[in-house]
Structure formats: structure tokens, C-alpha cells
Amino acid sequence: MNKQLHLEAIESLFDEVQRQKIFEDQKMMTDAIPRYLVQEIMSKYEEEKTKETFNLKEFILHYFDFPTTNQSYQKNENLSIEDHIEKLWDHLTKTSKEDIGTLLQLPKPYIVPGGRFNEFFYWDSFFIMLGLKESGRVEMMRNIVDNCAYLIHKFGFVPNASRTYFLSRSQPPYFSLMLQLLADTVDDKTLLIEFFPTLEKEYNFWMNGEQEIANNQAINRVVKLEDGTILNRYYDAKNQPRPESYWIDVMDNEKSDKNDFYRNIRAACESGWDFSSRWFADPSKIETIEKLNILPVDLNCLLWNTENLLSEIIQIIDSKSPKIKYYQERANKRKTAIQNYFWNDDKGIYVDYNFSKKSQTSSEHVGMLYPLLFKLAENSEADKVRNFIENNILHKGGLVTTTKESKQQWDFPNAWAPFQWLGYQAFEEYNYKDTSLQIAENWCTLVEKTYNETGKLMEKYNAVDLNVLAGGGEYPNQDGFGWTNGVYLFLKNKLNS
């Protein structure tokens, strides 16, 4: 029996389950595992659904199994936060030796984020790797890289997460950073050679459509501006509700006048920032989302790093290869474009660019630190960004995501683990050690306070009111939590060194 499930095969049943809100969390049904052949289940559903005695929930529970959520590892009263995280690494380790339900097979064990997220997530895994390095778990770091490579070779990219319903989108392309981190950990640059074809294949996914694109046009994830500049956006080809948030999307779409509302929502999910006023024309209304029109500064910095690393690896392989110049020129052009389109001299920060409106967006967000992370900013610009961050983004509990409060989870006052690492690392690049250490100190102190009071490591934190747990978004704040564990260990070791 083929145990893999594509939700299109149970579309009418799935639609009814989600519309009737059979489960409090709509992700439950997306992760269901059929007990029988899908054709048999659907045939039985069509036969039974018109009967007066038909009970949809009983039917679902009879014909499907459901994975258990990752209940947090219960804190031992005498367990330090570091020892608790060591226990959590084992608790959050999973395997998927075959395609089952919507869960994709992966060749190696992996670490899940925790809570409702019981699959392999792409960009989460980089921040998990930071902590695995501190814990000396190099084999698991390599597992993560191998799993990403497997997915890239099988699908052409790393999906948002390892489920069939995520196969239309990726997440921020952190594979280049994963490779650099692993090579640095094992002190072996030749490891990069092994993964060159994989990294290049992922890069080609992000640049797919470039050859046939005209000026003032967007194809897939590639945008060509009127001056011929090539930059990238997040994208998803499907224009339908996300299965894991089906009814939420249907209701939001009814308030929107956009024909491609669902595609904009999905593109925001590919960015990892789901959701933020950063993507909205009206910062308070998700129905005004215009993600497809926005060129994000962070994505383009990550792709610069990919181009730059590809050129560096080729130099190791063959110092005379013409591909060296090819990727160096691509990286140089992107660096110039990042400066031309994303730097806002009036505010002294990097922002996003709306290519449809031919203007920069107004959102002030922590993504402005990516050009500093990769040393793409001039010293004078880095100094202005630092001033803005210290006055507007850095709070008692660390770096908030934006300056706008919208009730979305990727907005003020929430602080997320990835951006504490980003802030620390970005300011270290420019030797702003007072700022980098302040970020680490503020956030680690908040994480420790919450752990001591609750025994939990949370998905996100309130950086402004340290006595209130973070909220916002489509689901409750989760605990576990992969990237929090990883970034905490990384930053705590920096503070202790």
C-alpha cells in the first residue's frame, strides 16, 4: 500500500473537514495518515456523506491516524537550561524512513522545531545547527545538510518543510550558510566541493525564468527591473488556500479584492515571515498583502552569499574555470543593486523595494541587518543602521522584528531567535561589540527568565513587556523550540567567552 498522501486526492473530504473546523488546529488534518487506500476512503465518503446518520468527525477518526504533537520535555526542577536543551535535542530528534501520509521520506535523522511542528523545516534547521555545534553534535549537523541536499536533488529545492503540501514553495535560502557553518565546524573547506552541484542546483531554482524575462517583468522568483537589474522575490505558484490554515485563508480572501490573494499569502510563508505588516499595503490589514510585488532585502543578501560562495568553491576546484568570473560578476551586480534599491539614506537603514510601485516600502524591520551580516554595507551605513537599531529595534528582551504593532506574530513587540543571531553576528562584522553583546545579553536574560518561570523554551518572545508571553498570529505560541535552543546556546557561549 502506498502510504504517501497528496491532499488533492482527498480534496472534497479535506475541504469539508476544514470548513466544519473538526479540529481546533487545522494543521491536524494536513498531517493525517490514511489507514486504507485513499481511493477506498473517498469512495466510502461519497457513499456515506448523504446519510442522516453520517458523522464527519467519527468518519475521519476511523479512516485516518494522526501523529502526536511534540509535547515539551518536562523540566526537571534541578535541571539547568543548558542541560534541559541537551535533553530536548534527543526529544526533538525524528526519523522518516518512508513517505507516510503527507510526511516526506528523508535519509537521515533530523530535529523538528517542536509543538505542532513535527517535520523537518528548512531555515529553522540552520539555527538548530548553531546549537548543535555548541553541543558537539556534529553528526546531526551533517545530517541536516545531507537531508537538504537530498531534497534539493529530488525536488530542485528545499521545501518549506518536509511535507507534500509544502512542495510549491521553499523558505529563505540558508543552504549556503549551512555549508559554511559545517565546513567551519569540521575545519575542512574541501567539504564545500562535495556540495557544489547541490548549491548550484538550488541557486538555479531561485533564478528559474531568468533567461526568458523582459524588463519590467516578473517570472517565478525572478524580477527584472526597468534598467535591466535582476533581483529576486518570494513566490508560490499555487493560488489556493494553504491546507494547514485553510479556513483562515478562505475568510481573509473574502475581505480582499486581490485575485492572487492566496499566492501572496503563500509567498509570505516562503519568506518565513508569516505574517508581518512588512508585506501589507495597509499595515493593519492582511487582506492588503502585496508580497509578490516586494523585493526583500534579506532574500537578495542570502542569494548574494550563494553567488559569492559558488565562486569561492569553484576557485578551490579549478582556479582557471570561467565560472569563477561568472559568479563573481553576478555577486558584484547584486551587491550594487542591494545598495541602489534597498538603502534609504533619509532613514539611514535598508528597506524593501516594491517593483510594481517603483518605490521603497515604508516598513522598518530587522531585515535591514542582512547587508551588515555579509559585509555589504559601507562603514558609514553600518553606523547609521546601528543607531536606528539601538533607538528603535533593540528592547529589554532583544531585537523586535518591526517597529509596527499589528497583532501579527512577525511584528512588534515580538522577538524571534533567528534575528538575535543575525543582530549579534551583523554587528560583530563591524566590530560594534557593545551592541552585539547587548543584544545577546538582553535576549538570553529573557529566555532564562521565561525558562525559570515556566520550564519552557518558546518559539517567540515579547521583547518589550518581559512579563507577558508573546502572541499574535494564527496559532498559540509553541514551546520546544528548535531555533530558540540553538541560538540561546550560541549567544550564551559568546557571553561566557
Degrees (nearest 5) of the Cα angle 327, 370, 179?
55
Strand stretches in 235-309, DSSP E: 294-295
The set of residues, in sequence order, having a beta carbon less than 8 Å from that of 76 and lying 6+ positions away, is 84
* Active-site residue identified among 124, 134, 459, 479: 459
Whether 274 sits among the annotated catalytic residues: the reply is yes
State the Cα–Cα distance between residues 220 and 267, nearest whole angstrom. Answer: 11
Whether 98 sits among the annotated catalytic residues: the reply is no
397 neighbors 446 (Cβ within 8 angstroms): yes
Look at the chain and count its residues: 497
196 neighbors 327 (Cβ within 8 angstroms): no
3-state secondary structure of 262: helix
State the Cα–Cα distance between residues 180 and 197, nearest whole angstrom. Answer: 15
- Range list of H helices, 135-233: 138-155, 175-186, 191-194, 196-206
279 neighbors 292 (Cβ within 8 angstroms): no
* Active-site residue identified among 202, 270, 274, 479: 274
Q: Which of 233, 269, 282, 261 shows the shortest CA–CA distance to 409?
A: 269
Q: Which three cell numbers stand for residue 352?
A: 524593501
State the Cα–Cα distance between residues 384 and 6, nearest whole angstrom. Answer: 49
Residues designated catalytic: 274, 459
